[in-house]
C-alpha cells in the first residue's frame, strides 16, 4: 500500500516519499509525516535471520513506496558498507541486565552515521526520480553529532552542497575540530553566536523564505535538510530498533512477541520518535523511556502536558541533548491531535510566540495511550544513572 506524506501544519497537497526527502520541510513550515504507519510484513522470526542491510530494506520499503526495489537496495548497500568498522553495522551488547545498541561504528563515531550514511543516496535518487536539475543545498543545524556526520555523508557528493550551522560555544572541542577540518569541495561550516535552538530556528526561517527560494531557483539551487526534520533521516532510524529486537530473538534472549523497553537519551526527539514508529509498525515495545539531561523540557512535557522553553539553557557535558525546542515532537503532537493540522499549527505558533503551549486533556489521554505506561520520574532517573 502506498504511503504518502502530509504536512503537520496544513491540508496542502500530499507528496511522495522522494518529494518529501527532497523538500526536507514543507512550504508552510510543517514537517512531513506518513499518512499512515505501515505494518511490518515479515514475521519477527523471519527478520531474526536477516542481516542489517536486509532488515533495513524490509523496513524502508514500507515507507519509501515510490522507490523501486533496485533503487532502495542500491542506497542501502552503498550506505552500510566498509565505512562501518563491523559487518553487523549495529551490534547489540549485553552489560549487566541491559542490552546496548552500539550505533557508533560509522565513520564519525556518532549514532547519526546510521541515517546520514544513507541520506545522500536517498537524496540523489529522489532528485533523479523527480527530474530535478537544480543543485541541492543542504542546510543543517547541529548541536554536535549531526554536523560532522552530515558533512562526511555529503562530502563531494555530486549535485549537492552542504552548509552546517553550529553554536560556537555549544559543541565539544572535538566536535568542532571534526567539523571545521572536514574535507570536501562542497562542504561549508558556520559557527553562530547563540545555542542550537537559535541555529535550528534560523535554518527553518531560511526554508520558509519564499522570495529567497525563488531567487535560489533562478540561479539553479534549491534547499533541503539533513536534520531529522527530513523524513529521509527519520525512516532509516526505525530500522535499527527492528534489527535490535530481531537480534535479541535470534540469540534466544527473548521469545517472539515478548515486549521490551527502549531507553533513548533525547534532544531533538527524532531518535525516540523512530522507536515510536517502530512500535506502531508492530514491534513489541512496552515503554519508551525519554532520558534527558538538565535541559529537561521533554521530561517536563510528558509529566505535565505543558511544553515550555522559557527556562535557562544549560550547557552540559552532553551537548547533543542541550536542546529546548525539540522539532520532532511536532510529529507526535500532530498525531495525538488526531492529525489535525489546524490544531497543531495553533500549538506551534504559540511555541514560536510566547514560548510555550499546553495540550488538551483529550490529547494527554492520547499521549498516554500511544506510549503505554510511560516512564515515571523515578524510572527515568534510574535509567539516566545507568546510561551515564
Handedness of CA 275, 70, 7, 201 (dihedral sign): positive
The one-character DSSP state at 322 is -
The one-character DSSP state at 320 is G
The one-character DSSP state at 161 is E
What cell was used for 88? 553487523
**Distance in angstroms (rounded) separating the CA atoms of residues 295 and 312:** 8
Q: Which of 112, 279, 287, 296 is catalytic?
A: 112
177 is catalytic: no
**Distance in angstroms (rounded) separating the CA atoms of residues 179 and 171:** 10
Number of other CB atoms surrounding residue 70 within 10 Å: 8
E-strand stretches of the chain: 5-7, 32-34, 92-95, 98-101, 135-141, 160-167, 187-192, 221-225, 260-265, 285-291, 306-308, 356-358
> For residue 358, how far is the Cα from the chain centroid?
24
Among 240, 303, 312, which residue's Cα sits nearest to residue 50? Answer: 240
Q: Which residues are catalytic?
A: 112
Amino acid at each position: 500500500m502506498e504511503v504518502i506524506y502530509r504536512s503537520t501544519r496544513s491540508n496542502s497537497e500530499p507528496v511522495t516519499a522522494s518529494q518529501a526527502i527532497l523538500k526536507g520541510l514543507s512550504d508552510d513550515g510543517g514537517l512531513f509525516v506518513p499518512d499512515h504507519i505501515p505494518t511490518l510484513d515479515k514475521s519477527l522470526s523471519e527478520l531474526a535471520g536477516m542481516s542489517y542491510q536486509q532488515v533495513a530494506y524490509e523496513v524502508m520499503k514500507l515507507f519509501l513506496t515510490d522507490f523501486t526495489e533496485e533503487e532502495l537496495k542500491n542506497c542501502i548497500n552503498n550506505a552500510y558498507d566498509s565505512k562501518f568498522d563491523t559487518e553487523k553495522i549495529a551490534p547489540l551488547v549485553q552489560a549487566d541486565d541491559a542490552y546496548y545498541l552500539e550505533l557508533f561504528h560509522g565513520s564519525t563515531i556518532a549514532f547519526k552515521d546510521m541515517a546520514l550514511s544513507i541520506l545522500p543516496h536517498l537524496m540523489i535518487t529522489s532528485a533523479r526520480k523527480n527530474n530535478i536539475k537544480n543543485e541541492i543545498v543542504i542546510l543543517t543545524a547541529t548541536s554536535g553529532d549531526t554536523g560532522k556526520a552530515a558533512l562526511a555523508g555529503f562530502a563531494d557528493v555530486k549535485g549537492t552542497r552542504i552548509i552546517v550551522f553550529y553554536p560556537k560555544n555549544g559543541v565539544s572541542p572535538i566536535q568542532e575540530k571534526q567539523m571545521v577540518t572536514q574535507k570536501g569541495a562542497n562542504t561549508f561550516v558556520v559557527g553562530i553566536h547563540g545555542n542550537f535552538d537559535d541555529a535550528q530556528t534560523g535554518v527553518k526561517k531560511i526554508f520558509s523564505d519564499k522570495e529567497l527560494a525563488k531567487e535560489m531557483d533562478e540561479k539553479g539551487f534549491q534547499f533541503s535538510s539533513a536534520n531529522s526534520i527530513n523524513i529521509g533521516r527519520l525512516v532509516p532510524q526505525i530500522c535499527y530498533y527492528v534489527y535490535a529486537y530481531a537480534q535479541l530473538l535470534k540469540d534466544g534472549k527473548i521469545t517472539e512477541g515478548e515486549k521490551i523497553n527502549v531507553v533513548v537519551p533525547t534532544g531533538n526527539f527524532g531518535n525516540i520518535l523512530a522507536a515510536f514508529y517502530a512500535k506502531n509498525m508492530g514491534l513489541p515495545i512496552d515503554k519508551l523511556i525519554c532520558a534527558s539531561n538538565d535541559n529537561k523540557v521533554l521530561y517536563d512535557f510528558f509529566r505535565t502536558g505543558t511544553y515550555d522553553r522559557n527556562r535557562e539553557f544549560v550547557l552540559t557535558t552532553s551537548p547533543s541533548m542541550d536542546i529546548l525546542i525539540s522539532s520532532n515532537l511536532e510529529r507526535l503532537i500532530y498525531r495525538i491531535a488526531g492529525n489535525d493540522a489546524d490544531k497543531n499549527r495553533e500549538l506551534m505558533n504559540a511555541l514560536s510566540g510566547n514560548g510555550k503551549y499546553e495540550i488538551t486533556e483529550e490529547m494527554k489521554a492520547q499521549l498516554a495511550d500511544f506510549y503505554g505506561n510511560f516512564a515515571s520520574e523515578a524510572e527515568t532517573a534510574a535509567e539516566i544513572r545507568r546510561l551515564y
